[in-house]
Amino acid sequence: MLIPCPFCGPRDAAEFTYRGDAAPVRPADDAGEAAFADYVYLRDNPRGEITELWYHRAGCNGWLVVTRNTATHEIAAARLAAAPVPAPIRETAE
């Protein structure tokens, strides 16, 4: 599978590390346990098009948002993620 990195061009998927579905968004800190359990654990897991995060480990070190079909592995689009993802895990003083 070739992933079209916007910076490096089409590159072997072996150069990338997979993070997973790009859809979940970290809830606000006070959103409550249910919202966080949903964010951490629950996934749509579609058969078909999905947007997902790939890290170009052996290339430009960029995080990409790739639109890919999970039934055919066909890639429709890839762009650099706007912000560093995933959000850093913060220590809580508990």
Partner 1 sequence: MRYSALSLLRNAFSGHQKWPQAWRKPHPKPFYSVVIVGGGGHGLATAFHLARDYGIRDIAVVEKGWIGSGNAGRNTTIIRSNYLLPGNIPFYELSMKLWERQEADLDFNTMVSQRGVLNLYHSDAQRDGYARRGNAMRLHGVDAELLDEAQVRAMAPFLDFDNARFPIRGGLLQKRGGTARHDAVVWGYARAADRLGVDIIENCEVTGLVREGGNITGVETTRGAIFAGKTALAVAGNTSRVASMAGLRLPIESHALQAFVSEGVKPLIPGVITFGAGHFYVSQSDKGGLVFGGDIDGYNSYAQRGNLPVIRDVCEGGMALMPMIGRIRLLRHWGGIMDMTMDGSPIIDKTPLPGLFLNAGWCYGGFKATPASGLCFAHLLATGAPHAAARDYRLDRFARGAVIDEKGQGAQPNLH
Which residues would be at the binding site for partner 1 (CB under 8 A)?
Answer: 1, 12-14, 18, 20-21, 33-34, 37-38, 40-47, 50, 52, 54, 68, 70-73
**Minimum distance from CB of 35 to partner 1 (Å)?**
11
Query: Cβ closer to partner 1: 47 or 90?
Result: 47
Distance CA 67, CA 47 (A): 13
Kind plus residue range of the DSSP H or E element containing 39 = helix 33-41
Quote the tokens at residue 20. Answer: 């997973």
CA distances from 62 to 3, 5, 9, 22, 43 (A): 13, 9, 12, 15, 24
**Minimum distance from CB of 43 to partner 1 (Å)?**
6
Distance CA 94, CA 49 (A): 40
**Minimum distance from CB of 27 to partner 1 (Å)?**
14
**Minimum distance from CB of 84 to partner 1 (Å)?**
18
Query: Cβ closer to partner 1: 14 or 80?
Result: 14
